[in-house]
Amino acid sequence: MSEIQSMLSGDVAEVDRESLALDDAGLARMYEAMSTTRAVDKRSARLHVEGEIGFYVASCGLEAVSVGAGFTLETPDWLFPSHRDLGMYLLRGGSMRAWFDQLFGNVADLTKGRQLPGHASLPAGRFVSVSGRVGAQISQAAGCAMAIKSRRDKACVLTSFGEAASSAADFHAAMNIAARFRVPAVFVCRSARRDIGAGIGGAAPVATRAKAYGVSAARVDGSDVLAVYRAVSEARSTATEGGGPTLIEAVLDEAALFGAGAPAAGDPPSADLDPLARLREYLEQCGIWDAAREDELGARLADRIDEAVAAARAEAKPPAHSLFDDVYGELPWMLQEQRERLVSGEGD
Amino acid sequence: MAMTTLAEAVRDTLAQEMRRDESIVVMGHAVGTMGGVFHATEGLLQEFGEDRVIDMPLDEGGVVGAAVGMALYGLRPVAEIQLADFVYPGLDQIISEAAKLRYRSGGQYRCPLVVRIPYGGGVGGGPYQSQSPEAFFTHTPGLVVVAPSTAADAAGLLRTALRGEDPVVLMEPKALYGVAAAAAETADAVADDQFALPFGVAARLRRGDDVTLVAYGAMVHPAQQAAEQAAAHGVEVDVLDLRTLMPFDIGALLESVAKTGRAVLVQEAPRSCGYAAELAAVLAEKAIFHLQAPVLRVTGFDTPFSHAAEHTYVPDSDRVLGAIRAVAEF
Amino acid sequence: MSDDFRLPDIGEGLAEGEIVKWLVAVGDTVVEDQPLVEVMTDKATVEIASPRDGTVEALRAAEGDIVEIGTTILVFGNGAATAPAAESAAVPAPIEEATAVAASVPAHEVPAAPPVTADELEQARQVARAERRAVESSAVDRKPWEAPSIPGGAVAPAARRLAAELDVDVALIPGSGRGGLVTKADVRAFASGETADTPAALRAEPVAEAVAAAPESAPALAPLSAPVIAPGPPAPQVAASTPVTLSTAAPAGDEERVPLRGLRRAIAERMVIATTTVPHYTYVEEADMSEVVALRRQAKPKATDRGLKLTFLPFIIQALVLTLKDHPYLNASLDEEAGVIILKHYYNIGIATHTERGLMVPVVKGADGKDLLDLAAEIARLSEQARAGKIALDHLRGGTFTITSTGNIGGFLATPVINIPEVAILGVTSIRERPVVRNGEIVIRHMVNLCLSCDHRVVDGAVAALFMRDLVGLLEDPKLQLLAGL
C-alpha cells in the first residue's frame, strides 16, 4: 500500500494509456491546463513580490495534483479546495480575469475584495469559497458527500489539502464521517517525500492513517499528472458507484510542496521533478506536443494574462459602503446605522 | 389536555417543516435512534428515515462542519449540539465558516444552517452542562442568535430560521424544555404549522412606566415574577422578552427606557463582557439623558458554573426584584 | 417616537398641572412646535407645544382635569410613528442605496420687507417650519435605533452632580448643550453668576419623589458615591385629596360650590404648609411716611414722563433692601434637614399681587441694584403679567423677602403669612393721616402700620424689633439712606 504509484516513470512505452481513457487531444488539453495554471500562478506570485498585492501563496509545482485531480471531475461534482488549487479553479470554468480581480480585490471581484488574494470562489463550478483556515473545507466536504449520497445524486466530492491540514481536527472528523456513512468523497492530500516521522507530517504516511478509519487509500507521485489522474479517476468511480471514500496521498518533492517558502518562491522544481516538464516530455515523445506549440501556447498565455492583469489592475476598489453587504441576507439595524455613519462621515 | 412542552414544540415544528421542505435534515449525536438527549427529535427518524435524521459521531466539529457542507450543497441542515458546553469544538465551523461564507464569497454562497444549542443552568448540570455561551455567537457578525422563553416562541423562531437564508444559532433554554405552553392560545400557536415569529422583534410581556426589565430565555420567568412582586410595591415594570439576541429589537428597548428611565438587564451567563453589556452600552450611548438611575445587570458570576452553588449563581426573582428596587429608589 | 403625548415636566417641583384649555381638537393636523394645550401649575399657566408633526387622534384629559406629570394627555395618530414593539411583523428591511439627503437647505430668501404684522410673522414661521420639515422628511422615517430626542430640561449626569455639589437648582439653569441640555459648563456659569437661587434642598418636595431606601446589595451601585440630588427637607406630602365630609353633607341653605382648582388650590396647599411648619409671630411698628409722601410728590412728574405710575412700594423697597443688608437674618432661609440657616446676600423682593385667580408673588430680582423708577417699572410690568396670567415661572421663584401691601385698599393691621422658604414678610397697610405727638405737640402726619411676620426659628423678637427700628428710621428720614452702608 505504501508503494507510490507513478506512470511517467521515464520510459514512454511503459505508460499504460489504456488505463487512462484520455485521447491525444485530452492529453494536450491537460498539458495546456497545467501550463495555464503555471503561468497564472507565476504572474500572481510576481504581483506579490512586486508589491502590487499584499499576500499570495504560490502553487507552482503542484499542477499535477490540481490538474490531474481536476481533470477527472464532471459537472455535477463538488470541490472543497485549498488555497493552492488554482488548477482546479481554472478547470472548473474560473476565468483569469476573475482570478486577478480577486487578487486585486477590486470592484469587479465577485467576492467583493473581502478575502486575501488567492481565495477564490466559483459557484458555477461548484468550487467552494476557499477558507482562510487550512483544513476547514475537509469536514465540509464529507458533509456535502453525505448530502449527495442521501439525495441519490450521481456526483462526488473532491477535497484537496496539504499535509499540514491532515493534522487538523477537520481531517479526523471527515475521515470518520466519510467512512461511517460511506460517502462519495475523494480526499486528495499533498504530502512531502521524506523519511517517515520527519518534518511536519505525522508519524506515518498520511495514506496509512486512512486505513485506521476504514477509508481506502492510495499513494501517488504528486508530480506525475497521469498517475494522479488515474488514481483520482478510480477513486471517483468507486465513490460514484457507492464504493465509499478514498484518500489519495500525492507525494511531492518538499521544495515543490512548500514552494512559497522555497529558495525562490514560484520557481519551478528541477526538470525531473517538474510536473510540466515530465508531461511535456511524454507528450513530445508521443508526438502530441512540440516546441512550436509550446511557443504558441506561451505567447497566447502571456497575452491573455497581461490583458487580464491590466484590466484587473485598472479597476477601482469596492466602495466603502459595500463593506456592510452580505453579512446577512438583509441589512439589520446595526449595520444600517454603522453604514450610515460611515457614509455620512459622522463617525461612531 | 396536555400542553405542548418546549422540547415538544421544537420536535413538532421540525416535523412540520420537514414535511413541508424536503431539504431540511436533522443531524447530531444521538438525534436519531435516541430521539435526542432532550427528546427534541423524538420520532423524527421513524418518520423521515436515516437520510434525513442522521446520527453523527460524537464530534461537534464534524457535526457542524458536515452541516456546513450540506448547506453549501443545498440542504437545510439542523445541527443539534447536545449541550452548549460542548459546542466549542464546533465553534470554528460556526464562527469562521457558517457565519462568513456569504460574506467572504461576496454573496455567492449561502449557509442556511440552524444550530440548536441547549443552554443554561438550573438543572443540576454542573460546570459542563449549564453554560450560557450566547455571547460568543452574538459577537459574531453573520449569525442570527435567538433565545425563546416559551414553547410557542421556540416554535415560531425555529420556523423562521428554517425558512430563512442566514445561519441561525437557536439557544434553547434547557431548564424550560419540560415547561408546557402557558395557555391554549400558545398551544394552538405551536400546532399551527404556519406560525412564525419574525427575528428582531421583542415581546412586551408586561407594561409599566417605572422600570424597564429586559430578559431572554429562561430568565424571562424570574423576570416576570419579579415584575409582579414589584407591582405589589407600586413599581410598574415594562418587561421585554428579547427573543432575538442578534439583531435585537432596539426600537422596543429605547422606547421603553425613554419612558421609564430605569433599566435592569438579566442574563444567566457570566457577568463580564456578557450579552447584557451590549444593551447597557447602547443605553449609555442613546438614552443617557433619559436615564434616572444606573443601568443594572443581574447576571451569573464571573466564575465557571458551580454545581453546588447553582441556585446562588443563576439569577432568581429575588435578585431581579432587588435590582428593580435599586433602580426605582435611586 | 411614541404616539402617546405625555404631560411633560414643566419645571422642577411641579408634579401636576391643570388642563386649562385645549388648543387643538381631535382630528386636527398639528405641526412641530404648535401649541397644543394650556396647563396651569401652582405658579403659572404655560403653553405646551407639540414635539412632532402628526394628527390628533385622541385627547385623554379634559379641561379642568388635574393631571400628573408623565400622564398621557393626547394621542397622536399615525404620522411619523414607528410601529410599537411586538406588533410589527417587519424583518429588518434592506436599506435602499444611500439616497443623499437634500444637498443643503435652500438658502432662506430674505423677504423684501421683514414681517411686521402678527400674521406675517406667523407666515414666516410656517415657511421656516415647512423648509425644515422638507429636509427632515427627505430622510428615512425615524429609525428604530435613533436615540430618542433629548427631553426638554435634560441635565447631563455629570452636570447634575456638580449642581448638587455647588448647591444650585438645576431646573433654573439655562442649558447650552444640544437640545437645551444643561452641561457642567452651564452649571459653573450659573453658580458663579449674580442671580444664585434657592438651593434644591429647600424646595417643597415634589409629590412623586420617592424616599431613598437602602437598596439590597446590588453590587453595581457600590462605585457610585454620592446621590445625584440632595434630598429636600421632609415637607409634608401634599396628600391626594381625602374625601371631606363637608362635600357629602346635605346643603344647609342656598349654596354655590366652586371646585378647588388651579391657583386657588395651590395657594390653599401652600398656606397650610407655611402655617403649620413655620412658627409665625407678627411685630408691628408704625412709621411716619410724611417725608416719603413729599418725595413721592416730587418724583411723580419724572415717573409720568416715563409713563410710570409711582406708588409707595419703590420707596419702601429701597429702604427695605438697605435695612436687610444690615439685618441678614431676615433675608434668609432655613434648611432644617441640613441644619443650616442660609443668609442671602442678594435681594429678590417678592411683591404680593392680587389677581383674579388668586394671589401671586412676582419677584423683583436684584432689587438693590435698581433705582426708584426702575423698581416702579419692574413692579408694574410683573404685576401686569401676573394679572394676565402670562408671567414666566422664573419670575415667580427665587425670592428672598416678600412685601404684601393692601395700602391701596385699606387696612390698619395685618398678620401676613410668610412666603416659604423665606423667613420674614412685611405687610404694609394703608397710609393715613393721623394725629401723633411730636415734641409734645399733636400734629397730623401720614402714618402707616408696618406689620412684620417672622419665622421664630430664625428671627427672635428683638432681632425683628431692631430691624424694624432701622427700617422705620430710613423711611421717616429718607436722607439717612444716603448714609447707609458707610
The per-residue pLDDT for range A219-241, each reduced to its tens digit, is 999 999 999 999 999 999 999 99
CB contact (8 A) between residue C95 and residue A334: no
Supply the range of the domain harboring residue A33.
4-317
- The answer, for C257 touching chain A at a CB cutoff of 8 Å, is no
Q: How far off is chain A from B306, nearest CA to CA, in Å?
A: 30
Q: How far off is chain C from B295, nearest CA to CA, in Å?
A: 9
- The answer, for B126 touching chain A at a CB cutoff of 8 Å, is no
pLDDT, tens only, A102-132: 999 999 999 999 999 999 999 999 999 999 9
CB contact (8 A) between residue A334 and residue B59: no
- The answer, for C70 touching chain B at a CB cutoff of 8 Å, is yes
Contact list in A for residue C143 (CB cut-off 8 A) is: 333, 336-337
pLDDT, tens only, C360-386: 999 999 999 999 999 999 999 999 998
Model pTM score: 0.65
Q: How many domains does chain A have?
A: 2
Closest by CA to A83, choosing from A62, A68, A98, A114, is: A62
Instruction: Give CA–CA dist C446/B118, Å, rounded.
Output: 95
Q: Which residue of B has its CA nearest to C180?
A: B289
Count of B–C CB contacts within 8 Å?
A: 92
Q: B6-191 belongs to which homologous superfamily?
A: Thiamin diphosphate (ThDP)-binding fold, Pyr/PP domains (3.40.50.970)
Q: What is the pLDDT of residue C122?
A: 60
pLDDT, tens only, B152-207: 999 999 999 999 999 999 999 999 999 887 666 566 777 788 899 999 999 999 99
Q: What is the pLDDT of residue B17?
A: 97
> Mean per-residue pLDDT for A283-310?
96
Instruction: Say if the ipTM goes beyond 0.90.
Output: yes
Q: For chain C, what percent of residues have pLDDT higher than 90?
A: 38
What confidence category does residue C247 fall into, taking pLDDT thresholds of 50, 70 and 90?
Answer: low
Q: What is the pLDDT of residue C87?
A: 34
Q: How far off is chain C from A340, nearest CA to CA, in Å?
A: 8
Instruction: Give CA–CA dist B116/A9, Å, rounded.
Output: 53
**Is pLDDT larger for residue A97 or for residue C68?**
A97
The hierarchical CATH code for the domain C279-483 is 3.30.559.10
**Is pLDDT larger for residue C102 or for residue A194?**
A194
Q: Where in chain C is CATH 4.10.320.10?
A: 152-193
Count of A–C CB contacts within 8 Å?
A: 24
Are A105 and A211 part of one and the same domain? Answer: yes
Q: How far off is chain B from C84, nearest CA to CA, in Å?
A: 7
pLDDT, tens only, C390-420: 888 888 889 999 999 998 899 999 999 999 9
Q: What is the pLDDT of residue B250?
A: 97
For the domain made up of C1-79+118-149, the CATH class stated in words is: mainly beta
Amino acid type, A79: L
CB contact (8 A) between residue B247 and residue A142: no
Q: For chain B, what percent of residues have pLDDT higher than 90?
A: 92
Q: For chain C, what percent of residues have pLDDT higher than 70?
A: 72
Contact list in C for residue A343 (CB cut-off 8 A) is: 98
Contact list in C for residue A321 (CB cut-off 8 A) is: 98
Q: Where in chain B is CATH 3.40.50.970?
A: 6-191
Top-ranked range on mean pLDDT: pick from B244-248, C180-184, C351-355? B244-248
Interface test with C, best of B289, B290, B291, B296 (most C CBs within 10 A): B289
Are A203 and A63 part of one and the same domain? Answer: yes
Active site residue C395: no
Q: Which residue of A has its CA nearest to B67?
A: A143
Burial class (CB in 10 A: 0-12, 13-18, 19+), C442: exposed
**Is pLDDT larger for residue C141 or for residue A171?**
A171
**Is pLDDT larger for residue B107 or for residue C30?**
B107
Q: What is the pLDDT of residue C133?
A: 43
The yes/no answer on whether domain C152-193 falls in CATH 3.20.20.60 is no
Q: How far off is chain A from B263, nearest CA to CA, in Å?
A: 21
Q: What is the pLDDT of residue C434?
A: 96
Q: What is the pLDDT of residue C106?
A: 35
pLDDT, tens only, B294-327: 999 999 999 999 999 999 999 999 999 999 999 9
Contact list in B for residue A78 (CB cut-off 8 A) is: 72-73
Quick check: A177 pLDDT over 90?
yes
What mean pLDDT value characterizes chain A? 91
Q: Quote the strand ranges of C9-68, DSSP E.
A: 16-22, 29-30, 35-40, 45-49, 54-59, 66-68
- Pick A337's closest partner by Cβ from C91, C94, C145: C145
Quick check: A16 pLDDT over 60?
yes
**Is pLDDT larger for residue C338 or for residue B40?**
B40
Q: In sequence order, which residues have a C-beta less than 8 Å from that of residue C168 and are 6 or more positions away?
A: C187, C190, C191, C196, C197, C199, C200
Quick check: C245 pLDDT over 50?
yes
Quick check: C213 pLDDT over 50?
no
Instruction: Give CA–CA dist B59/B37, Å, rounded.
Output: 15
> Mean per-residue pLDDT for B250-273?
96
Q: What is the pLDDT of residue A294?
A: 97
What mean pLDDT value characterizes chain C? 77
Question: C45-49 and C72-76: which strand pairing?
Answer: unpaired
Are A286 and A327 part of one and the same domain? Answer: no
What confidence category does residue C214 fall into, taking pLDDT thresholds of 50, 70 and 90?
Answer: very low
Q: Which residue of A has its CA nearest to B75?
A: A147
Are A260 and A114 part of one and the same domain? Answer: yes
Instruction: Give CA–CA dist A161/A172, Å, rounded.
Output: 13
Closest by CA to A152, choosing from B111, B31, B52, is: B52
Q: How far off is chain C from A333, nearest CA to CA, in Å?
A: 7
Q: Where in chain B is CATH 3.40.50.920?
A: 203-328
> HEC states along C199-250?
CHHHCCCCCCCCCCCCCCCCHHHCCCCCCCCCCCCCCCCCCCCCCCHHHHCC
- The answer, for C156 touching chain B at a CB cutoff of 8 Å, is yes
Name beta bridge partners: A7: none
Are A313 and A207 part of one and the same domain? Answer: yes
Q: What is the pLDDT of residue C261?
A: 76
What confidence category does residue C101 fall into, taking pLDDT thresholds of 50, 70 and 90?
Answer: very low
- Pick B103's closest partner by Cβ from A128, A144, A327: A327
Q: What is the pLDDT of residue C134?
A: 44
Are A298 and A205 part of one and the same domain? Answer: yes
Instruction: Give CA–CA dist B226/C433, Å, rounded.
Output: 74
Instruction: Give CA–CA dist B31/B45, Å, rounded.
Output: 8
Residue A54 CB neighbours (<10 A): 11
Q: Where in chain C is CATH 2.40.50.100?
A: 1-79+118-149
Q: For chain A, what percent of residues have pLDDT higher than 90?
A: 79
- Pick B66's closest partner by Cβ from A78, A146, A326: A146
Q: Which residue of C has its CA nearest to B207?
A: C85
- The answer, for B93 touching chain A at a CB cutoff of 8 Å, is yes
**Is pLDDT larger for residue A161 or for residue A253?**
A161
The hierarchical CATH code for the domain B203-328 is 3.40.50.920
> Mean per-residue pLDDT for A56-60?
92
Contact list in B for residue A142 (CB cut-off 8 A) is: 62, 65-66, 69
Q: For chain A, what percent of residues have pLDDT higher than 70?
A: 92
What confidence category does residue C312 fall into, taking pLDDT thresholds of 50, 70 and 90?
Answer: very high
What confidence category does residue A258 fall into, taking pLDDT thresholds of 50, 70 and 90?
Answer: low
- The answer, for A42 touching chain C at a CB cutoff of 8 Å, is no
- The answer, for B96 touching chain A at a CB cutoff of 8 Å, is yes
